[in-house]
Structure 1
Amino acid sequence: MIDLGLQDVRVFVPSQDFAVSQGFYEALGWQTDYLDHQLALMRNGQHRFYLQRAYVREWAENLMLHLTVADARACHAQIAAALEGNAFPGARVAPPRHEPYGALVTYVWDPAGVLLHLAQWDEAQAG
């Protein structure tokens, strides 16, 4: 087996409107660590991804990120409040629901249609 010495994995996330998507992720608690005309490195704690100034509808609407959170219900309430007033057109959030794989999940669609699964693991599934 090849040992890549893997230290990090970062996904490239599309944006239809780069500034709106950057603002959306910042409203969700991400910080912009790097920014140029085509790319923003977004960070939340030790977790990072690249936001791109690139959009292909089929790609954006099929990309999903599964994020483990401490409290899916609190995430829902905070994100619903952040989305009031339509500051991020196209973004939406669904109430949390239990999934058969053992998590309470709040689904969030970013302004480009990327689906975030904010998952709080059930006690039996955690760890």
Structure 2
Amino acid sequence: MSNLATVETKAFVPAHDFAVSQQFYRDLGFSMASVGGGVAYFHFGGRSAFLLQDFYVAALAENLQMHLQVEDAQAWFDHVQQLDLPTRYGVRAPTPLVDQPWGMRDFAIADPSGVCWRIAQNIPGFVPVGRTTAA
């Protein structure tokens, strides 16, 4: 019988300037586990991972969204605000932290290549449509 067990799903995130993007993600708090062949492997606490690629197509980067689910979106929002990413990297300011109708509290940032990152937490006590109790 074949072993079809999966280990992990990772997205390839494009980088217009590979070195600048690497520093951006390190500044956010990601660790770069390896780099070679135009790909850098990033993770945060061993749980959230992606592959930064030395490859750029504007239409791809500007339409790609990543989702980072965290325990405390307010703490992340405060952390990102303190980094002053617009001044340091020329990116847009983070969107406000808001409660979304789909049950997540989130805000968005863009990396130097235009990739959107939604940083979110589950809203405690949120009751999804069609349910009578919280998820």
TM-score, normalised with respect to structure 1? 0.89
Q: Which amino acid aligns with 1:20?
A: V
Structure 2 contact 11–51 (Cα < 8 Å) conserved: yes
Equivalents in 2 of 1:35, 1:120: separation in Å?
Answer: 30
Cα deviation for residue 40 of structure 1 reads 0.6
Q: Report the Cα offset of residue 83 of structure 1.
A: 2.2
Per the TM alignment, residue 105 of structure 1 is displaced from its structure 2 partner at its CA by: 0.3
Q: Distance in 1 between matches of 2:118 and 2:86?
A: 23
Normalising by structure 2, report the TM-score.
0.84
User: Shift in Å at residue 39 of structure 1?
Assistant: 1.1
Report the counterpart of residue 21 of structure 1 in structure 2.
21
1:104 and 2:124 aligned: no
State percent identity of aligned pairs. 33
* Other-structure match for 2:83: 82
Match of residue 121 from structure 2: 120
Residues 59, 85 of structure 1: alpha-carbon distance in 2 compared, 3 angstrom cutoff: closer
What is residue 130 of structure 2 aligned with on the other side? none
Moved over 4 A (4+): none
- Runs of at least 5 residues in structure 2 that lack an aligned partner in the other structure: 127-133
- How far the C-alpha of 1:36 sits from its partner, in A, is 2.1
Cα distance change of structure 1 residues 13 and 91 upon mapping to structure 2, 3 Å threshold: farther
**Greater gyration radius:** 2
CA–CA distance in structure 2, aligned partners of residues 14 and 84 of structure 1: 18
Offset at 1:86?
1.9
State the 1:84 CA deviation: 5.1
Is the CA contact (8 Å cut-off) linking 2:85 and 2:91 kept in structure 1? no
| Structure 1 segments unaligned to the other structure (5+ residues) | none
